[in-house]
Amino acid sequence: MTEVQADVVIVGSGVAGALLAERLAKANVRVAILEAGPRIDRGKAFQRFVNAPIKTPESPYPPTQEADHPVGYDLDHWYRQSGPDKFKSTYIKAVGGSTWHWLGTCLRFLPNDFRLQSLYGRGMDWPIGYAELEPFYQQAETELGVAGDSEDDLGSPRSGGFPMPPIPTTYLDKVFERSLAGTRYQVRPTPQARNSVAREGRPACCGSASCIPICPVGAKYDAAVHVARAEKLGAALHEQATATHVETDAANRIAGIRFQRPDLSAGVARGRLYVIAAHALETPRLLLHSRSERNPDGVANGSDQVGRNLMDHPVQLSWALAGEPVWPYRGPISTSGIENLRDGSERRDRAALRIQISNDGWNWPTGGALSLGRALADAGLRGSALRDAAADQASKHVQLASMIEQLPSSANRVVLDGKERDLYGVPLPRIHYDIGDYARNGLAAARGVHNEVFGKLAATAIQHKEDFKGAEHIIGTCRMGLNPAQSVVDGRLRSHDHANLYLTGSAVFPTSGTANPTLTIAALSLRLAEELTGALQLT
């Protein structure tokens, strides 16, 4: 059996694990990273995307038996679901994690997002506040390389500017801004981890329009950047090493993490401190599988909260034909949004929402320009009439995507399937999921807002997706809190049950807010790096 030795063992090389590993390695801490997936070759992955008959976020990164994961075109491939709603967001297993196929949006949480229970009587409060996390948001924006407008804090007060100027807004953005002038809807450039200028060896965005699922030139940040930096500083990456069991000793401290490789050879990683940063589905799956006589309900689960409070940002998609050409299908998938609906007294009754103005036309709801020709041909158009109609319609495609706040619910949970297992003998994740009335009311409010916005664009052929979509924002399942009976980790992200175990990533979020979670994940991991550096000095 292979034995790995380090000061800190980290499970997962996504943005949470990668940032943590790089920051610790910079402090001369010996770090070992266990990653279930392989390294990604960008060129080969992009070619797989181009050749894929079904283009989903996972198409450049197909699942394998050795590193299986969910796929958007078949939500029953990996998940075992018991409803009443389907959980629709996915992830991949790879060095760099799901930042390979993320959009790059980097919004901070609002100060009030940390106090949902105190202010609105919903959900629960975080054990930390915005002011405590703000310095780490600033660091995270520098580390990821966020392009944004430093003169507009979007409701989250800043102690400094963005490291790069904003990505230029599109003509489509400008049409929305002009059409909504004087209304309550404020169109703003979206902060995003995408180079607006060449920076740190990566080029500026060239507008390839394939941010999801892959940036062909590496202008968009992915966590493989920090994995590489950590390795140069001495961190040891063990790719294709799937963590299968967390061991504890007689004092109920973590004693090691067992892993297996694709050839089923086994190993164990031992350290002084341990961090699980394996995403909000895989983290509870690993902890629940690590049952023992000492911990019959799984590791870190004395509260019975591991796997509970699964959340996403259910998405309301709406699309229409603008009253004038807006020339979509160019540039990053989104460069602007409507951000001033993310907080307010209505949160007592319904979910807040954040509106993404999409540059990719009807791609998400219908297949966009790729399906337009067939639809017009099926309607009987031929020749020049078909060509002219396609050109006219494609130039006017507009789409709005509202990300809806979801409340935590103990009934929304990930457990271990009773029958089916992966290659390594770990049960597949079984999910019970219901977005709840609070989010449904938010979806209804979003449809009303979309109608108003489209009205200002003199839009026709307005359509609303009847069912919600997944945002790929997998949140909750191992939440932080002050009360050990109601949470899995404390405000420092340390397990209530095991003194040398920490969790990080979106799994620890007590509530979802409306912001894409990645920047908050990054800020929490940078804060955790300070905590672990101090803890190591005391042991």
Residues with catalytic function:
473
Measured distance CA(207)–CA(212) in Å, rounded = 12
End-to-end CA distance of the chain: 28
Q: Do residues 171 and 329 touch, judged by C-beta distance below 8 A?
A: no
Measured CA distances, 469 to 13, 53, 142 (Å): 27, 21, 31
Assign 3-class secondary structure to 443-494. Answer: HHHHHHHHHHHHHHCCCEEEEECCCCECCCCCEEECCECCCCCCCCECCCCE
Of 191, 213, 433, 465, nearest to 312 by C-alpha is 433
Residue 202: burial class (beta carbons within 10 Å; 0-12, 13-18, 19+): middle
Rounded (10°) CA dihedral 62, 64, 70, 75: 90
Measured distance CA(284)–CA(474) in Å, rounded = 12
DSSP code for 244: E
Measured CA distances, 255 to 2, 90, 296, 487 (Å): 15, 31, 17, 22
Residue type, 209: A
Structure tokens that stand for 338 in this block: 């409507």
Of 303, 214, 235, nearest to 487 by C-alpha is 303
* Interhelix angle 15-26/130-144, nearest 10 degrees: 90
Q: Any idea how long the chain is?
A: 539
Structure tokens that stand for 256 in this block: 């090691």
Taken in order 50, 54, 55, 58, the sign of the CA dihedral is negative
Neighbours of 239 (CB within 10 A): 17
DSSP code for 168: P
E-state strands within 314-364: 315-321, 334-338, 353-358
Structure tokens that stand for 452 in this block: 């108003």
State phi, psi for 114 to the nearest 5 degrees: -85, -5
Measured distance CA(398)–CA(327) in Å, rounded = 9
Q: Do residues 306 and 488 touch, judged by C-beta distance below 8 A?
A: yes
